[in-house]
Amino acid sequence: MSIILFIFQALLIPGLSPLIVGIIRKIKARFQNRQGASIFQPYRDLWKLFHKDEVISETASWIFRYTPYLLFAVTIVISAGIPMISTMATFSPLGDFLLFVYLIALGTFFLALAGLDTGSVFGGTGSSREMTVAALTEGGLIFSLFSVALLAKTANISEMVNAISVVPFSMLAPVVIAFIAFYIALLAECARYPFDNPATHLELTMIHEAMILEYSGKRLALVEWAAANKLLIFISLGTSIFFPWGIAQNVEIVPVAIALILFLIKILVMAVSIAVLESTIAKLRFFRLPDLLLTSLVLGMIAIIITVI
């Protein structure tokens, strides 16, 4: 039963991630008084891209050709270590929160290299911006997770979930502060407002989209799918660590079924919050982004200080 649940939990990320993207787009369309595409449109887009031919620059090296496969593989590996439904159905060696941060950084690094690889001006600009944002984001992301690790006295995500789920509500102040820091890092890492516009086609404002302009066909599908996976991974990690209540502590059918329903509700709430936020704020100028990322870092440090005290 645990092996079946482990496989199901690992495949839940790639299976649901396009749907989450579709839900966010639908809500944003409603805020703009538009009908919007179906919430299942991202699945149709991926299907279409997988059946299209590719055009690859003659100057592209192996980095450009294999980065989409690496990005998608990294998201699958990460999903195997996050306890979304049960803490007993994860691969423990992949559950260290620092390993999670390093794997995310690995994907970002290779995507930036792929943007530079073809010699495109826009790709190089996007890579430069991406690495700048990533470097400023890592501190807030690590500190937000580290504060919870200090409170739980472990760096393993599954054990952190178990520990936080039994912490009295009177001691959850650092967890709330750390969640705000994590939420800001989520928006930055997943190229969402106010850091980036995932739907933009204006070269002067693109970050993530600029790096993948040269991709087409199957490789573009993998890059887009990996980006959707990354968004759902961050949402799942945030709900699992900072709102762990309801996650099954075993692999019995009834607790797992309840945990699955609660997990779907929590990621839906997170998706709605992202859509509402993106519909009510404007994208910040690039030189204003460090201020917001510094806020994430400071909040993470405050959470650590409160935890230690």
Q: Cβ(208)–Cβ(131) under 8 Å?
A: no
Residue 161, token pair as written in the block: 């979930």
Residues lower than pLDDT 70 in the chain = 1, 201-205
What CA–CA distance (Å, rounded) separates 167 from 169?
Answer: 6
What CA–CA distance (Å, rounded) separates 208 from 195?
Answer: 10
Chain centroid to CA 155: 19
Distances (CA, A) of 122 to 31, 139, 212: 31, 27, 9
Instruction: State the burial class of residue 56 (Cβ atoms within 10 Å of its Cβ: 0-12, 13-18, 19+).
Output: middle
Q: Cβ(104)–Cβ(230) under 8 Å?
A: yes
Whole-angstrom Cα Rg for the chain: 19
What CA–CA distance (Å, rounded) separates 60 from 162?
Answer: 46
Give the per-residue pLDDT at 205: 66
- Cis check for the bond before 194: say yes or no (omega within 30 of 0): yes
Q: Is 33 left (phi over 0), alpha (psi -120 to 50) or beta?
A: left
Nearest to 71 by CA among 220, 281, 239: 220
Please say whether the dihedral angle defined by the alpha carbons of residues 294, 192, 204 and 110, taken in this order, is positive or negative.
Answer: positive
Q: Residue ranges per domain, the chain?
A: 2-308
H runs (alpha helix) in the chain:
2-31, 41-50, 62-79, 97-117, 121-152, 157-164, 173-189, 208-211, 217-242, 253-280, 289-308
Give the per-residue pLDDT at 247: 92
| 181-223 per-position pLDDT tens digit | 999 999 999 999 899 888 776 666 678 888 998 999 999 999 9
Per DSSP, the three-state class of 63 is: helix
What CA–CA distance (Å, rounded) separates 42 from 34?
Answer: 18
Give the per-residue pLDDT at 251: 82
Chain centroid to CA 262: 19
Give the per-residue pLDDT at 4: 85
Nearest to 73 by CA among 225, 200, 177, 253: 225
Chain centroid to CA 194: 15
Give the per-residue pLDDT at 203: 62
Give the per-residue pLDDT at 1: 57
Per DSSP, the three-state class of 193 is: coil
